[in-house]
Amino acid sequence: MRLKQSFCLPCFAKKDEDSAPLIRQAAKIGYAAVEIWHRDASLERIAAIARENRLALASMCGHKDWRNGLNRRENHDRIESELRASIDVATKLGIPGLICFSGPRDADVPAEESMSNCVAGLRRVMPYAEEKSVTINIELLNSRVDHIGYECDRTPWAVELCKRVNSPRFRILYDVYHAQIMEGDVIRTIRNNLQWIGHIHTAGNPDRHDLDDDQELNYRGIARAIAAGGYACCVAHEFFPRGDPIEALRRAFELCDVS
């Protein structure tokens, strides 16, 4: 089975009217899915365009936002409500995965308490996610460049959270760009932890642009390692193209088109 590829629409469509032609061209290139970031007024329209072009909707954010996440108990009522609403939308539109966020570290809260807060918040909604067969993926973000102080910034922390939540519907969104900034050793980390990974994002490092020779990651090798592990979910390109977005999507697809 070939690696299933997706792309994050907001990175490539600069204007709302760019969405439909981008999705049509992505389908012709060979993409299996498209994803959006937020549950907003454009979602139904994007879902309809995707269906017309036989593309799935791979993922969207389940709650807002990374700055106010699960590691603070005062956020739990809001996050539970937002995740339940997003699960309902995901069920209706056939979206297999939703993204959640730990939030930034609080220097006054012990690390164990912060982890326990995340577990408690997730356990409030995981039975509903399991009932509806929707996977909640906690996103690994870098805490040094783009998301200063973010707590879920390394794979071991995210894996430990998965083990404590102990649900087949809770996994990690492994973002290669963010992981490279924080820990490197990408292929070994993927091989050792693929069972915990429910979604993958790509981007060139540094600068989060195209998967080309101006960045430091060997995405052909990374794609081969993912495919070799039997990964069945999507690998989604989440970079901001320097030039023509359709050509950037074509080059990224060809680079990662492995089995």
Give the integer Cα–Cα distance in Å for 115 and 121: 10
Three-state DSSP class for 33? strand
Give the integer Cα–Cα distance in Å for 105 and 115: 10
Which of these ranges, 38-42, 148-152, 197-201, has the smallest mean pLDDT? 38-42
The dihedral formed by the CA atoms of 122, 142, 14 and 89, expressed in degrees to the nearest 10: -10
41: confidence class by pLDDT, cuts 50, 70, 90: confident
Residue 1 is predicted with a pLDDT of: 72
Residue range 199-206: average pLDDT?
98
Give the integer Cα–Cα distance in Å for 232 and 16: 30
Q: Which two tokens stand for residue 54?
A: 């036989």
Three-state DSSP class for 128? helix
Three-state DSSP class for 100? strand
Domains of the chain (ranges; CATH) run 4-256 (3.20.20.150)
Number of other residues whose CB lies within 10 A of the CB of residue 80: 17
Average pLDDT taken over every residue of the chain = 97
